[in-house]
Structure 1
Amino acid sequence: MIEDRKNVESLRRVRFNSIWLVPLVAILVASWMLYQNWASQGPLITLIAPNAEGLEAGQTKLKARNVDVGQVVNIRLSDDYDKAIIKVRMNQGTQKMLRQDAKFWVVKPRIGKEGVSGLGTLLSGAYIDMSPGEQGEESSDFTLLSQPPLSTTKEGIRILLHSTDSAKLGIGTLVHFRGYEVGYVEEVGFDVNTGSITYRVVVQPPYDALVNSAVQFWITPGVSFKSSAQGFELTLDSLETFLLGGISFGLREGKAAGIPVKDLASFSLFASKKDADNNSYEEAIEYVFLFDANVSGLTPGANVNFRGVRVGTVLEVPFTGGGIGSLSSEGRPVIPVLARIEPQRLNALTVSGDVSVHKWEELLGDRIEKGLRARLEIGNYLNAAKVITLDFMDNPPPVKPSKFEGYQVFPTGPDSLANLEGKVANLLDNLAEVPLKDTFQKLGQTMNEASETLRQLQAMSESVQLLLEQTETQQLPEDISSVMAELNLTLQTYQANGQIGRPLRENMVSLGRALNEFQPLLRQLRENPSTLIFDTTNRSDIQPKAAK
């Protein structure tokens, strides 16, 4: 009992001390701050990058449209040490930005074909920029792009281009329409199945309305030099295109616009505008030309002409579809060449307007029967470039329709050089028929006679030389000089003031005066010749007298 009373009394002595309020309040404030910090934090996302160059945990910011929306909190290597794992704490309210199509990239100083960018980071340091996502579900794992995206816009039209005969163009290559910038290359790839380079091109609004089913795309290399049958061609474009290259598109001259195309429509990308124009003819008649001649200088893309007018294009030289070991009708090996006749080039020349391909085939067949043949001809003598020329031959050998590897064979004739060789051969044959022996004998006689004539001329020259060397001959110039002096003195006497010339001049003056005095008499005689017989005095008429 006594012990219980002592315990109660000791409890009554214990009192609450106010000093304990300070740590209690500190704990409550810290808890509240932790809660506020946790509540204000956004989601934690993971960025996977090849490396973390220029990034630092706790300092590198993540921005969207130059507004801070997060910060890098941790950087580490992946488990296989092949990638960098970057943890970024986003701000609160940014969850809707983190959709599957969101893009992240590092902004730092860059110099490339797109220009100079990121100079502001020279002082502030690199940061991560992002393009907010708009499609797909929310995500927390993303890949950090190695290069900034060219554009984040979803407007415009995207076109797929395929190229098999040109060098690769880079991402960001500009697209032009009549020299005006209307788009760019967004993505470059390679199609293993077709062996072609593929480009995804963006044409920005409002220029996307220019793209239709009839347009053609070609590469503008900036500067190009080409040698062909038309001569040497040097093409210069703008300085920007000269440095970076470019792609242009448009309609062939005289062609109507097509129908609008959908997104990701496919087009061919040609190496030049000329190639694009040559491939714009949808309808063509393909032939194989079997040439028994040297085809050096004939290249794909060369002209097929009819009397100077282009009517087709050479496709393949030599045509390897059936090999080169084919034989001509004479049993000699020939070189097959694949080319096509393009009726759309000819329709503009016809009076009746457009003619179908079938009609053109019939028309060409009829002309072949009448002597239309193909032959090789040098189109440019500077570079020995050749073309195929179609023209009518005189008395051509008859031909039968035939095919070569499924293609109709177009009959050929000898080329221009072969004709020249034939003319030279005929000339030599004619020379062989000339009686050269008699001709040379007569020529020898003529030469002998000429030699005798020259000998006589030489003897005459020697005689003249002896004559000139005589003393009498050498005195002739002095005699001639004295005669000329005497003749001069004689002429002086006949001059106006000479001994004979002065009296003669005075007599001529007197004679002139006398003639002047005779002028009235002569005039009177001309008017009235009877004055030499009758008196010139006027008399009155005799009056008859009256009879007494």
Structure 2
Amino acid sequence: MIEENKNVENLRRVRFNSIWLVPLVAIMVAGWMLYQNWASQGPVITLIAPNAEGLEAGQTKLKARNVDVGKVIGIRLSNDYDNAIITVRMNNGTQKMLREDTKFWVVKPRIGREGVSGLGTLLSGAYIDMSPGEQGKESAEFSLLSQPPLSTKKEGVRILLQSDDSAKLNVGSLVHFRGYEVGYIEEVGFDTDSGSITYRVVVKPPYDALVSDAVQFWITPGLSFKSSVQGFEVRLDSLETFLSGGISFGLGKGRASGKPVQDLTSFRLFSSKEEANNNLYDQTIEYVFLFDSNVSGLAPGADVEFRGVRIGTVLDVPFTGISMDTLTSHDRPVIPVLARIEPQRLNAWKVSGDESLQKWQDLLDYRIAQGLRARLEIGNYLNAAKVISLDFMDNPPPIKLKEFDGYQVFPTGPDSLANIEGKVSNVLDKLADVPLKETFEQLGKTMGEANETLRQLQTVSKSVKQLLEQSETQALPANLSEVMTELNLTLESYQANGQIGRPLRENMVSLGRALNELQPLLRQLRENPNTLIFDSKPRLDVQPKAAR
């Protein structure tokens, strides 16, 4: 009984202590802080990337317009080990930015056609940048782009270009108008049906107003080297186009502006500005030129000229639209060349329609009947580039063929080198017909007769002098004496050492020496007529002898 009374008494002594409030308050504060932290956190998103180069969990930040909006909290491999799964904790209030068109990419040091970017990450490290979305539903899974997006706004005009014979350009390559940067390549594709490379080009405002249905697009190579009739041309554009190439566009010379175009209008992309300019001439007359001489140096794109003025363009050398039977059906083998006459080069843009083109056709037929012929000429002797030259010929060769494989034949004549060879051959033939032996014999007789005449004059002069010295002669009237004196002086001038006789004798001796020196040259021309054009066999260098 005594022990039970003690326990009851101890229980009555237990009372509530205020110190117990401290842990209770601490628990409540910790709970409130956990709730605040949970409530202040934004959503968790997943980024799928080929690799996680430069990213670290707990360190890499996510920014939008250089403002921190999240942080990477986890990086792992996908179940198939093909991609990296990056988990990002977004800040509170960023839910509206996470839509289907939101873009994410890694910012790090890059060297590209736009220059050097991302240098600030050398010290701070790489980070993830984002472009907030505006369309579509909210999403929590995105693909991490390997490159920054070119544009996120639907501005300007988009053009579709198709290239058949040029190398591929990269996405982001620049578009220029007279050297100004006005756009870029947004997308590159390949059309398997036509075998062409396709480009989707964006022309930014306000330059999109320059694009009309009359413009031409061509590739800007950056660095180009061209050898043509005009000589060697080296062209270097801007540094951007030098690194990756680009596209330019513009109107042709003398061409009026066209109408504005709609989005995704198709244009042809030419390989060069020259090709684009040549394509402007749509009213043409095509001919086949049959040459029986060497066509080396004549290439597609070469000039067709009339007395130095370009009136056309060579299309194909040799013309491939023929068969072997067609070639072997002629008396002499010929090389067919397809070219076209472009009247618009002479008459600006006034040539339009079949009626106007037919007038040019009739004019050419009339001039051909008058002797207009085509021949090959060397347009530039540095690179041996040739052109087709049209001009009138005296006694032109007759027209043997009027049509060739469906094309009208333009009559041709011998080229300029063949004309030179013919003229040299005629000169050599005339020299060969000259009776050199008889000429030299006759010249020798003439020189002998001249010497005899001089001796006779000398004898007469001595006789006259003796006559004048006689006393009877001195007794003649003064006038007669003066006449005899002048006659004596005249005869002395014709002597071998006189003022007239000495130059005459020297000239005759020089003429004889020159004819003797000319004999080896004439003998060489008779044996080898082409010496005037081609060098003779080179002489071996003299080998010095060793000292004794």
> Is TM-score (shorter-chain normalized) higher than 0.5?
yes
Query: Deviation at 1:440?
Result: 1.8
Cα pair distance change 1:137/1:414, threshold 3 Å:
farther
Find the residue that maps to 1:200 and give its secondary structure: strand
Query: Deviation at 1:327?
Result: 2.8
Q: Do 1:98 and 1:133's aligned partners in 2 also have CA atoms closer than 8 Å?
A: yes
Q: Distance in 2 between the 1:407 and 1:204 partners?
A: 46
Q: Which residue in the other structure is 1:536 paired with?
A: none
Find the residue that maps to 1:347 and give its secondary structure: coil
Q: Distance in 1 between the 2:98 and 2:407 partners?
A: 60
Of 440, 444, 447 in structure 2, the residue corresponding to residue 443 of structure 1 is: 440
Q: Which residue in the other structure is 1:146 paired with?
A: 146
Q: Which residue in the other structure is 1:357 paired with?
A: 357
Cα pair distance change 1:125/1:235, threshold 3 Å:
closer
Q: Do 1:347 and 1:354's aligned partners in 2 also have CA atoms closer than 8 Å?
A: no
Find the residue that maps to 1:55 and give its secondary structure: coil
Q: Do 2:113 and 2:240's aligned partners in 1 also have CA atoms closer than 8 Å?
A: no
Q: Which residue in the other structure is 1:231 paired with?
A: 231
Q: Which residue in the other structure is 2:217 paired with?
A: 217
Query: Deviation at 1:452?
Result: 11
Q: Which residue in the other structure is 1:377 paired with?
A: 377
Cα pair distance change 1:352/1:135, threshold 3 Å:
closer
Q: Which residue in the other structure is 1:398 paired with?
A: 399
Within a 5 Å distance, the mapping from 1:307-326 to structure 2 comes to: 307-323=307-323, 326=326
Question: Deviations 1:466-518 (Å, cap 9, x if unpaired)?
Answer: xxxxxxxxxxxxxxxxxxxxxxxxxxxxxxxxxxxxxxxxxxxxxxxxxxxxx
Q: Distance in 1 between the 2:18 and 2:289 partners?
A: 114
Within a 5 Å distance, the mapping from 1:50-65 to structure 2 comes to: 50-65=50-65
- Code of the residue aligned with 1:401 in structure 2: it is K
Matched, 1:79 2:79: yes
Query: Deviation at 1:127?
Result: 0.7
- Code of the residue aligned with 1:261 in structure 2: it is V
Query: Deviation at 1:52?
Result: 0.8
Matched, 1:273 2:273: yes
Q: Distance in 1 between the 2:363 and 2:288 partners?
A: 17
Find the residue that maps to 2:327 and give its secondary structure: coil
Cα pair distance change 1:93/1:411, threshold 3 Å:
farther
- Code of the residue aligned with 1:387 in structure 2: it is V
Question: Deviations 1:195-247 (Å, cap 9, x if unpaired)?
Answer: 44443332211111111111122334444332211223343445665566443
Cα pair distance change 1:349/1:166, threshold 3 Å:
closer
Q: Which residue in the other structure is 2:264 paired with?
A: 264
Q: Which residue in the other structure is 1:348 paired with?
A: 348
Q: Which residue in the other structure is 2:414 paired with?
A: 414
Query: Deviation at 1:194?
Result: 4.0
Find the residue that maps to 2:260 and give its secondary structure: coil
Q: Which residue in the other structure is 1:118 paired with?
A: 118
Q: Distance in 2 between the 1:352 and 1:283 partners?
A: 7
Structure 2 unaligned regions, length at least 5: 1-7, 455-548
Q: Which residue in the other structure is 1:184 paired with?
A: 184
Query: Deviation at 1:268?
Result: 2.9
Q: Which residue in the other structure is 1:249 paired with?
A: 249
Q: Which residue in the other structure is 2:333 paired with?
A: 333
Q: Distance in 1 between the 2:252 and 2:193 partners?
A: 30
Q: Do 2:283 and 2:351's aligned partners in 1 also have CA atoms closer than 8 Å?
A: no
Q: What is the aligned-residue identity percentage?
A: 75
How many residue pairs get aligned? The number is 447
Find the residue that maps to 2:105 and give its secondary structure: strand
Aligned residues: CA RMSD: 3.7
Once the two structures are overlaid, the 10-residue window that deviates more, 212-221 or 311-320, is 212-221
Q: Distance in 1 between the 2:330 and 2:253 partners?
A: 45
- Code of the residue aligned with 2:337 in structure 1: it is V
Q: Distance in 2 between the 1:12 and 1:362 partners?
A: 136
Q: Do 1:188 and 1:200's aligned partners in 2 also have CA atoms closer than 8 Å?
A: yes
Q: Distance in 1 between the 2:270 and 2:349 partners?
A: 27
Query: Deviation at 1:148?
Result: 1.7
Q: Distance in 2 between the 1:21 and 1:307 partners?
A: 113
Cα pair distance change 1:326/1:382, threshold 3 Å:
farther
Query: Deviation at 1:380?
Result: 1.5
Query: Deviation at 1:294?
Result: 1.0
Query: Deviation at 1:168?
Result: 4.2
Q: Do 1:211 and 1:261's aligned partners in 2 also have CA atoms closer than 8 Å?
A: yes
Q: Which residue in the other structure is 1:292 paired with?
A: 292
Query: Deviation at 1:428?
Result: 4.7
Cα pair distance change 1:12/1:79, threshold 3 Å:
same
Q: Do 1:326 and 1:335's aligned partners in 2 also have CA atoms closer than 8 Å?
A: no
Find the residue that maps to 2:106 and give its secondary structure: strand
- Code of the residue aligned with 2:138 in structure 1: it is E
- Code of the residue aligned with 2:287 in structure 1: it is Y
Query: Deviation at 1:129?
Result: 0.2
Cα pair distance change 1:253/1:28, threshold 3 Å:
same
Question: Deviations 1:313-341 (Å, cap 9, x if unpaired)?
Answer: 11222222225774377522222222222
Q: Do 1:74 and 1:87's aligned partners in 2 also have CA atoms closer than 8 Å?
A: yes
Q: Distance in 2 between the 1:361 and 1:10 partners?
A: 134
Matched, 1:283 2:279: no
Find the residue that maps to 1:332 and give its secondary structure: coil
Find the residue that maps to 1:225 and give its secondary structure: strand
Cα pair distance change 1:211/1:435, threshold 3 Å:
closer
- Code of the residue aligned with 2:335 in structure 1: it is I
Q: Which residue in the other structure is 1:157 paired with?
A: 157
Q: Distance in 1 between the 2:162 and 2:214 partners?
A: 16
Q: Do 1:286 and 1:407's aligned partners in 2 also have CA atoms closer than 8 Å?
A: yes
TM-score normalised per structure 2: 0.70
Query: Deviation at 1:445?
Result: 6.1
Cα pair distance change 1:324/1:70, threshold 3 Å:
farther
Q: Distance in 1 between the 2:129 and 2:99 partners?
A: 15
Query: Deviation at 1:13?
Result: 11
Once the two structures are overlaid, the 10-residue window that deviates more, 342-351 or 373-382, is 342-351
Q: Do 1:44 and 1:88's aligned partners in 2 also have CA atoms closer than 8 Å?
A: yes
Q: Do 1:324 and 1:335's aligned partners in 2 also have CA atoms closer than 8 Å?
A: no
Q: Do 1:327 and 1:333's aligned partners in 2 also have CA atoms closer than 8 Å?
A: yes
Q: Do 1:373 and 1:392's aligned partners in 2 also have CA atoms closer than 8 Å?
A: yes
Query: Deviation at 1:106?
Result: 0.7
Q: Distance in 1 between the 2:248 and 2:164 partners?
A: 17
Q: Do 2:107 and 2:127's aligned partners in 1 also have CA atoms closer than 8 Å?
A: yes
Cα pair distance change 1:384/1:326, threshold 3 Å:
farther
Q: Distance in 1 between the 2:201 and 2:293 partners?
A: 46
Q: Which residue in the other structure is 1:505 paired with?
A: none
Find the residue that maps to 2:375 and give its secondary structure: strand
Q: Do 1:325 and 1:334's aligned partners in 2 also have CA atoms closer than 8 Å?
A: no
Q: Do 1:156 and 1:202's aligned partners in 2 also have CA atoms closer than 8 Å?
A: yes
- Larger Rg: 1 or 2? 1
Q: Do 1:324 and 1:336's aligned partners in 2 also have CA atoms closer than 8 Å?
A: no
Find the residue that maps to 1:360 and give its secondary structure: helix
Query: Deviation at 1:169?
Result: 3.9
Find the residue that maps to 1:418 and give its secondary structure: helix
Q: Which residue in the other structure is 1:516 paired with?
A: none
Find the residue that maps to 2:344 and give its secondary structure: helix
- Code of the residue aligned with 1:402 in structure 2: it is E
Cα pair distance change 1:290/1:36, threshold 3 Å:
farther
